[in-house]
Amino acid sequence: MSDSQPLETSSRIYQYSIISAFMDGQTLHGIPLKDLGKHGDFGLGSFQLADGEMILVDGTAYRMSYDGSITVAEPSTCLPYAMVTFYTPTVTVAVAGMLKPNFQKHIEDITPTAKNYFLAIRFDGVFKKMRFRIAKGQDVPGANVMKTITKTQRVIDMEDVEGTMIGFRSPGCYQGITVAGYHLHFIKKDRTTGGHCLDFEIQKGITGISIIRQIDIELPDSDDFCEADLTLDNEGIVKAE
């Protein structure tokens, strides 16, 4: 890595479970939030029965619920899937007037040596448009999340909204373990709503990036996990995420 390139940090990603298990319906058991917090102050995840979306911002985990409301998650809350890190950006840039694909291309352009590493990404600023979804939660524990999430999710569109977007970019070969490519969650600045980003247009703001070379994955200690069908469904993950 040359001197002109942003250096990777000593941070590591901690991930609980894998997205293939979550999508197969392994949503009943999880890591308590108080334990997850030992591994990071920044990240995203889901709740028991895939009920809502989780965003971890500056050490506070929020549950963004299907009805559009937000609560600070209780320390005892279980998360069946989560990806967190202690966020230490090595690159911070101002960005303006970018559609989602342009934003992603811009991130690739300013981290040219990092395409095979993980990136933790944070954006704070104003979105001209933000489309996000909130998972409804399962009626039947253990049912396949992949098959139901896009049918039951609530999609919310906002315009001229200020907030924070947090997430990760994972190399393509990690599909099924995590979500390959970009996985980003959004929370409104006043903390009144948010969810899993589907599409957006940035008006202006600041982006921070941390290049990460270390990932620690903890697999659930449950009978359900042992019986999960972990066959990779690339098409399903792309559709659901």
* Total site size for Zn ion, rule CB under 5 A: 1
Between 136 and 196, CB nearer to Zn ion: 196
**Window 221 to 240, contacts with Zn ion (CB under 5 A):** none
Q: What residue is closest to Zn ion based on CB?
A: 196
| Closer by beta carbon to Zn ion, 8 or else 53 | 53
Which lies closer to Zn ion via its Cβ, residue 95 or residue 240? 240
Q: Does 196 bind Zn ion (CB under 5 A)?
A: yes
Please state the closest distance from residue 217 (CB atom) to Zn ion, in A: 17
Q: Which of 11-19, 143-151, 192-200, 210-218 is the region at the interface with Zn ion (rule: CB under 5 A)?
A: 192-200
- Mask: binding to Zn ion, 118-137, rule CB under 5 A, as x and -? --------------------
User: What would the x/- binding string for Zn ion be over residues 141 to 180, using CB under 5 A?
Assistant: ----------------------------------------
Span near Zn ion by CB under 5 A; candidates 65-73, 101-109, 116-124, 196-204: 196-204
Nearer to Zn ion, 8 or 241 (CB): 241
Q: How far is the CB of 49 from Zn ion (least distance, A)?
A: 15
| Neighbouring C-beta atoms of residue 10, cutoff 10 Å | 10
The per-residue DSSP string of the chain comes to: --TTSPPP-S--EEEES-HHHHHTT--S--EEHHHHTTS-SEEEEE-GGGBSEEEEETTEEEEE-TTS-EEEPPTT-EESEEEEE----SEEEEEEEEEHHHHHHHHHHH-TT-TTSEEEEEEEEEEEEEEEEE-B--SSTTS-HHHHHHHH-EEEEEEEEEEEEEEEEE-GGGBTTB-SEEEEEEEETTSS-EEEEEEEEEEEEEEEEEEE--EEEE---SHHHHH------HHHHHHH-
Residue ranges binding Zn ion (CB under 5 A): 196
